[in-house]
Amino acid sequence: MPAPQCASCHQARAALRRPRSGLALCGACFCAAFEAEVLHTVVAGRLLPPGAVVAVGASGGKDSTVLGHVLRALAPRLGVSLRLVAVDEGIGGYRDAALAAVRHQAELWELPLTVVAYADLFGGWTMDAVARSAAGSGRSRACCTFCGVLRRRALEEGARRVGATHIVTGHNADDMAETVLMNFLRGDTGRLARGGLLGSPGEGGALPRCRPLQLASQKEVVLYAHFRRLRYFSEECVYAPEAFRGHARALLKLLEAARPSAVLDLVHSAERLALSPAARPPPPAACSRCGALASRALCQACALLDGLNRGRPRLAIGKGRRGMDEGAARARGALPGGGDAEAPPPGGLDTGVPPSGDQDTDAPPPGELDAGAPSSGGLDTGAPPSGDPDIAAPPPGELDAGAPSSGGLDTSAPPSGDPDTAAPPPGRLDTDAPPSGDQDREAPSL
């Protein structure tokens, strides 16, 4: 059966059926609708005021690639200027290749790029060194937790270096839904209290952050990259398979199969979640070492580095945080032993054991820069990764998998003049970017 006409332009053949609305659209109309929705998210949420200097967290992955491409197109209408900021975690065999993808994008988009490295910012600690230390303490599964905390700090530092007034990251709706699930599964009311808002306003001197793709599904992000022929890096980070996020992702897939709206329902649930006063974490104060926002004497990054430097990387990221939440509850009389909201959990910083498994809630999105669900394959050629169940092509003649063309559906080429079409030929992103190592998507944080 031939594909129907596009429901928007009524001229081209439809190439996909949008998962959310069910509308059959051609590639060009889908991309235009996607961009309009991101614009609406930014404008309605007042995320980026005119004149803002925006640091785009760039990982080379699909989410930050799509975010950079869309914001570059919208920047004149929004009246903002863009800077790319990439974080080099120091992950051998992986990040170098991903950074090559970011450099390629910066050149293509003619945007300034700044790379900040863990090793420079954190006293020589690379993620590989952190992993070795964590493995020695039996905490090897917590790599993404450590990485997420450090990346958040690194991105803030990089954004300040380029004079940014705002930070944007590429978290999509699936990333956020996974994070909501993880926080529920861990009983992490502190993070749930921070909620699923589109961003944070920049408390305590931190730069405001937002996630313009937060309402876009992962499927549509991939489809947008496909139709715009964006090239991105899609290998998995070597530490990703151990992350607790993988369990949340698997659970979400099951939920989505039974209830297609589960992803956005979870995101909206987090936005509207109201915690009882007893469950709310205490207002953050300044870290006694670096001045960043902290729930205790030291912020997460300083506490983590403190533990690493002492050879005790089991830090107050998990149970410690929960301890604080419980401390706050006690202070409000909801739990026995009230009045000790300022007291650290028993044993001080080093007793922190994540409530369950590892903790990567601060690692975003796949990339706070993006660390979520890795796609299969190596350097992406713009086509959805084969074997990705989310974008599996529908059977011939069927249109509704939200998949790019197959079986006679539109194979719309990007509009001419799109700078991204100047990308290298399929199968090659950048000669500097060998498809070696693994790739990640950073775990988003709420």
Q: Is the dihedral of CA 233, 239, 245, 247 positive or negative?
A: positive
Euclidean distance between CA atoms 158 and 11, whole angstroms = 46
Six token digits for residue 410: 């539109």
102 is a contact residue toward ligand SF4 (CB under 6 A):
no
443 is a contact residue toward ligand SF4 (CB under 6 A):
yes
60 is a contact residue toward ligand SF4 (CB under 6 A):
no
Q: Which is nearer to ligand SF4, 18 or 95 (CB)?
A: 95
Provide the mask over 147-166, with x wherever binding to ligand SF4 is found by CB under 6 A and - wherever it is not. Answer: xx------------------
Q: Which of 154, 164, 176, 237 binds ligand SF4 (CB under 6 A)?
A: 237
240 is a contact residue toward ligand SF4 (CB under 6 A):
yes
Q: Which of 63, 89, 175, 380 binds ligand SF4 (CB under 6 A)?
A: 89
Number of residues that bind ligand SF4 (CB under 6 A): 16
352 is a contact residue toward ligand SF4 (CB under 6 A):
no
Residue given tokens 């194979």 in the structure block: 411
Q: Is the dihedral of CA 30, 33, 37, 42 positive or negative?
A: positive
122 is a contact residue toward ligand SF4 (CB under 6 A):
no
| DSSP 8-state class, residue 297 | S
Q: Which of 70, 144, 216, 401 binds ligand SF4 (CB under 6 A)?
A: 144
143 is a contact residue toward ligand SF4 (CB under 6 A):
yes
Q: How far is the CB of 123 from ligand SF4 (least distance, A)?
A: 18
Q: Which of 371, 399, 403, 423 binds ligand SF4 (CB under 6 A)?
A: 371
**Candidates 2-10, 65-73, 412-420, 436-444; binding stretch for ligand SF4 (CB under 6 A):** 436-444
Amino acid identity, residue 191?
R
Listed residue (444, 446, 438) closest to 127, CA to CA: 438
Q: How far is the CB of 87 from ligand SF4 (least distance, A)?
A: 9
Q: Is the dihedral of CA 153, 99, 107, 66 positive or negative?
A: negative
Laid out side by side, the sheet with 113-117 consists of 113-117, 81-88, 53-57, 166-168, 209-210, 199-200
Classify residue 227 by burial, with Cβ atoms within 10 Å: 0-12, 13-18, 19+: buried
Q: How far is the CB of 64 from ligand SF4 (least distance, A)?
A: 12
130 is a contact residue toward ligand SF4 (CB under 6 A):
no
Listed residue (70, 385, 421) closest to 229, CA to CA: 421
301 is a contact residue toward ligand SF4 (CB under 6 A):
no
Beta strand pairing status for 81-88 and 113-117? parallel
Q: Which of 128, 175, 188, 440 binds ligand SF4 (CB under 6 A)?
A: 440
363 is a contact residue toward ligand SF4 (CB under 6 A):
yes
Q: Which is nearer to ligand SF4, 38 or 85 (CB)?
A: 85
Cβ atoms of residues 194 and 156 within 8 Å: no
Give percent helix, percent strand, percent coil of the chain, each to the nearest 5.
40, 10, 50
57 is a contact residue toward ligand SF4 (CB under 6 A):
no
Residues in contact with 410: Cβ distance below 8 Å, sequence separation at least 6, in sequence order: 3, 6, 12, 13, 14, 15, 26, 27
Q: Which is nearer to ligand SF4, 227 or 233 (CB)?
A: 233
442 is a contact residue toward ligand SF4 (CB under 6 A):
yes
52 is a contact residue toward ligand SF4 (CB under 6 A):
no
Cβ atoms of residues 47 and 198 within 8 Å: yes
308 is a contact residue toward ligand SF4 (CB under 6 A):
no
CA dihedral 240, 208, 324, 331 (to 10 degrees): -160
**Candidates 10-18, 144-152, 197-205, 377-385; binding stretch for ligand SF4 (CB under 6 A):** 144-152
Q: How far is the CB of 177 from ligand SF4 (least distance, A)?
A: 18
Name the strand (E) or helix (H) holding 126: none
Q: Which of 127, 287, 298, 316 binds ligand SF4 (CB under 6 A)?
A: 127
Which positions touch ligand SF4 (CB under 6 A)?
89, 127, 143-144, 147-148, 237, 239-240, 243, 360, 363, 371, 440, 442-443
